[in-house]
Structure 1
Amino acid sequence: MTSSSPPSDSAVLSPLSLDTVLELLANQRRRFALYSLLTADGSSVEFEPLIEDVATLEAALTEDALTRERYQDVAADLYQWHLPVLDDVGIIDYDPRQDLIRVFEDSCLRKWTLRVQQDEFL
């Protein structure tokens, strides 16, 4: 899941296009992951707290109980689908050996994610 050569701290990342940002935000579970990733203190996030954040947001939005099945479904979906997508566009670098997600800043993604988050949880 990790890219072949993650950007260094001093690397200048190309900003994401608005089309890419909107594609990333189109999936609810990935949006919830982005809410957590982009508001975390520091530049790295552990996998387990990310799963908890996403599963908790989903349960709260649907007013359902947070079940073990939902937690496992979220974990599998993040690991197999959403983290690789975010890795492919250069927003994160995920090291599954350490269960650590390194987050890279993108101002367009941050701006639109915060806008959508405000509207989603009115």
Structure 2
Amino acid sequence: MKKKILFVLALLFGLMFTNAGLDKFFHYMPMPEEMPEELVSDFQAFMEIAWLLPLVALAELVGGILIIIPKTRALGALIILPVMVGILLVNTVVNTSGLIIALVLAAILGWIMYENRDKYRPIFG
């Protein structure tokens, strides 16, 4: 039962990040109309660095796809980890309106990484 729940959560998590990565390339989801000024200025600064947005989009896209596939889930989690740290920082420091969702996503990523901890041992040992 635990494996089925993890599979469904990993599938949804992977699809969410794949969608976020694709949206950064194709801009098909509308931006919120009202955003706090701090968040708008952060996004403008983010856009000034021309290579940063495509890099984050690629990490989200590749990491999301790898998390969907059980055999590559551990690698996908490592790729998504720095993006998730950024999401948590933005939602704790700049704008706390999405903090609950960010914490849920971080918990799912933490569970994925915990379940794959044996695959990470060579990195630290």
Whether these two folds match at TM > 0.5 is no
Higher relative contact order (CA 8 A, sep 6+): 1
Q: TM-score, normalised by structure 1?
A: 0.29
The answer to which structure has the higher helix fraction is 2
Structure with bigger gyration radius: 2
